Structure 1
Amino acid sequence: MQTRMNYYQVHPTVYKQMMQLETFIKEQGLDPVLYELIKIRASQINGCAFCLDMHTRDLRKMGESEERIALLSVWRETPYYTEAEKAVLHLTEVVTQVAQHGVPQDVYDRVLQYFSEKEYMDIIMAINIINSWNRIAISTGMFPGCKG
């Protein structure tokens, strides 16, 4: 396999701007495990093999169980996620596929049972960032193990 281009070399400012967004989210205090769950779930939906590989590795390094990593795509049918995580995973799905149905009021309300409005916005930004990374990786032909 071969990438279409190395976007780091072609346009390093893109990478720099995306990394500034990553830094911004990390500075907001979003739980790092929750952020990785968001990244993996959005990457599953978007079919981004590069990001799935990266973020499942990252979650393993954080000490996450294999069950939680392997069963993330079927989070509704497993006992491995907290109610707060389930609310965020549902939000991740609807925001990633926002053109289909928008964000239903019940999804919004459920997230606000566990998170403040400011945290809701942090979560939305986290979802948007991984969706942007997915689109960059897929559009430039990145794959697990590639050099970019």
Structure 2
Amino acid sequence: MDARLNFFTSPTAGKVLKQFMSVGKALKESALPAATQELVSLRVSQINGCAVCLDMHTKEAAAAGETSVRLALVAAWREATVFTEAERAALELAEEGTRVADGAGGVSDEVWERAAKHYDDDQLTALVLLVGFMNTANRMNIITQQPAGDYVAGQLH
């Protein structure tokens, strides 16, 4: 499969992607736990069907020590016992934040309150920004049909 567009050969994309990737780097350095970041990135990418981001974040999470069981169960986190209450709250917020166009009316107060019980304002800010960042990355990759499977952990970080 060939991509429709090579972002790295476009002068415009080069300028924008440099800034976009700096946002991703800042989020990685935030106070939001790294494991939570990877789980949220995976869940958002599962919902959107972004193979590139699924490839990247599965490999990054595994390289950081995440278990194969937890990685396999992200899609069914509600029924899985391997996630903490804080992770479950983050995944729930990520799902509602990703599915805003599905007619659910956005993130409910109950979902927000569950997340706010586990994360301080700085971490919540990082979580919200991560959900938005991942949705943007997913859409860019899906629109341009970026191929997946060749990512090497640590490649972009």
TM-score band, normalised by shorter chain:
over 0.9
Q: Which runs of 5+ in 2 are unaligned?
A: 152-157
For 2:144, the equivalent position in structure 1 comes to 140
Matched, 1:69 2:71: yes
> Structure 1 residue 108 and structure 2 residue 105: aligned?
no
* Cα offset, 1:67, TM superposition: 0.6
What is aligned with 2:88?
86
Residue 24 of structure 2 is aligned to residue 26 of structure 1:
no
Question: Which string of whole-angstrom CA distances, capped at 9 and with x for unpartnered residues, describes residues 14-39 of structure 1?
Answer: 21011111122123222111111111
Residues paired across the two proteins, number:
147
Q: 1:131 aligns with which of 135, 142, 146?
A: 135
Q: Which amino acid aligns with 2:40?
A: I
Cα distance in structure 2, aligned partners of 1:34 and 1:68: 11
- Is the CA contact 2:31–2:122 (under 8 Å) kept in the aligned structure 1? no
Q: AA paired with 1:75?
A: W
Structure 1 residue matching 2:35: 3-state secondary structure: helix
SS at 2:118 equivalent: coil
Moved more, 93-102 or 36-45: 93-102
Please report how far the alpha carbon of residue 94 of structure 1 lies from its aligned counterpart in structure 2 after TM superposition: 0.3
Post-superposition offset of 1:118: 2.5
Question: 1:54: how far off?
Answer: 1.0
Deviates more, 1:61-70 or 1:26-35: 26-35
Cα deviation, 1:71-115, whole Å, max 9, x if unaligned, reads: 100001011100000000000000011122211000000001111
Quote how far apart the aligned CAs of 1:136 are.
Answer: 0.9
| Structure 1 CA distance for aligned equivalents of residues 18 and 24 of structure 2 | 10
Match of 2:41 in 1: 39
Range with greater deviation from structure 2 (75-84 or 21-30): 21-30
Partner of 1:98: 100
Corresponding letter in the other structure for 1:128: G
